[in-house]
Amino acid sequence: MMLNPTDEQLAYKAEVRRYLERSCPLSRTRARLEGPPDHDPDAWAGLARLGAPGLLVPAEFGGAGAGITEAAFVSEELGRVLLPSPYLSSAVLAARLLVLLGDKEANAAHLPGIASGDTVATVAFLDEHGRWDPSHVPVRARRTGDGWRLDGTVPFVTDATAALLLVPAVTADGLGVFAVDGAHAHTEPLDNLDLTQPLARVGLRDAPGKEIRAAGDPRDAMAETVRAALACVTAAQLGGAERCLEMTVEYAKTRVQFGRPIGAYQAIKHKCAEMYTRVQSARSAVHHLLDALETGSPEAAEAAHLAKAYCSQACFACASDTIQVHGGIGFTWEHDAHLYFKRAKASAHLLGDSTHHRAQLARRLAL
């Protein structure tokens, strides 16, 4: 089955694009790259006015109660402009995990702030390969007289300066998820290829945490949260690839060489055609995943692996071809092509690279 977006979903997507093109041009992102790695608070406030941080939050906690399709459409538009924002960390990972765990007290405490954008949250769960592995959780939690204490180091955390950390940890009874005040975490910023997506190593040493009581198995909640995040990461990759295609076609029409636009030459035509094919195939993979998630399809896991494996390669190939078609100027810092190239390379490894997801897909299909 393929996704069939409603008129309301498409209208909301168009409104987000208008806001980002008007208020968050890439020149604004470039200016922020000169400073410390962090999100753009003004742009985040604008997204909050559009209700983006609360899309996955139920209405009873101040959100829109929308589905993963709307969240992915926002991610696609963010991927087009490379906006530094905590959208994936806070609005998708943290919000989705809290809802799935189903702890009413925790939801009442944290979801209203996340929905309004006033609270930025993240989930500290990635292993040394940049993915979630429930068999290798680096944090341990122990019960003490005054609650819970957490110890361990999470190698990669997105938007680690967030006020609220949700931390999966191993307890004496199995896996648990804990809310930790960001002030109790030691954050070490990492040198990241993509400056628009800051990463950090987070250390917890006897850090106090409050257990989020899961209605079911926390491992199931984490697995579904990761699939939702994969939908949004691949949607952002789709947005970046599409923007690369637009930039390349426009340049091929206006750059004249030997008295003709370079787009008139067969080699350039073929590159643009290949980019277009990749973008449309990536869109099909993302929409297939969104439909599987929205309908609760038993094939959702396979669709997630397929989408991440393909979109990672498609986005990187489009970014690479953008640089090649632009020639010398495409290699310069002043041109935007390298920003898309770096985003494509970095996001290809986030939540597992193509090799990992192909292997997981083959395992699930018993190939």
281-335 confidence digits (pLDDT tens): 999 999 999 999 999 999 999 999 999 999 999 999 999 999 999 998 888 989 9
Mean pLDDT by 10 residues, the chain (367 residues): 86 97 90 75 94 97 96 98 95 98 97 97 95 95 93 96 94 96 94 90 96 94 98 98 97 90 90 97 97 95 97 97 93 92 96 96 89
CATH topology of domain 7-119: Butyryl-Coa Dehydrogenase, subunit A; domain 1 (1.10.540)
Residues 188, 155: Cα–Cα separation, whole Å: 10
95 contact partners, CB below 8 Å, separation of at least 6: 53, 54, 56, 57, 63, 111, 114, 115, 121
What's the confidence (pLDDT) of residue 37?
65
Domain ranges of the chain: 7-119, 123-216, 219-364
Q: Quote the CA–CA distance of 362 and 350 in Å, as a whole number.
A: 20
Q: What is the tens place of the pLDDT at every residue in 42-92?
A: 999 999 999 999 999 999 999 999 999 999 999 999 999 999 999 999 999
What's the CATH class of domain 123-216? mainly beta
- List CB contacts of 188: < 8 A, sequence separation 6 or more: 200, 201, 202, 203
Cα 105 to the center of its chain, rounded Å: 27
Beta-carbon contacts of 183 under 8 Å, excluding residues fewer than 6 positions away, are none
pTM of the model: 0.96
For residues 62 and 321, give the distance between their C-alpha atoms in angstroms, rounded to a whole number: 43
**DSSP H or E stretch at residue 68:** helix 68-81
Please give the distance of CA 111 from its chain centroid, rounded to a whole number.
Answer: 19
DSSP string, 176-198: EEEEEEGGGSEEEE---S-TTS-
Identify the architecture of domain 219-364 in CATH: Up-down Bundle (1.20)
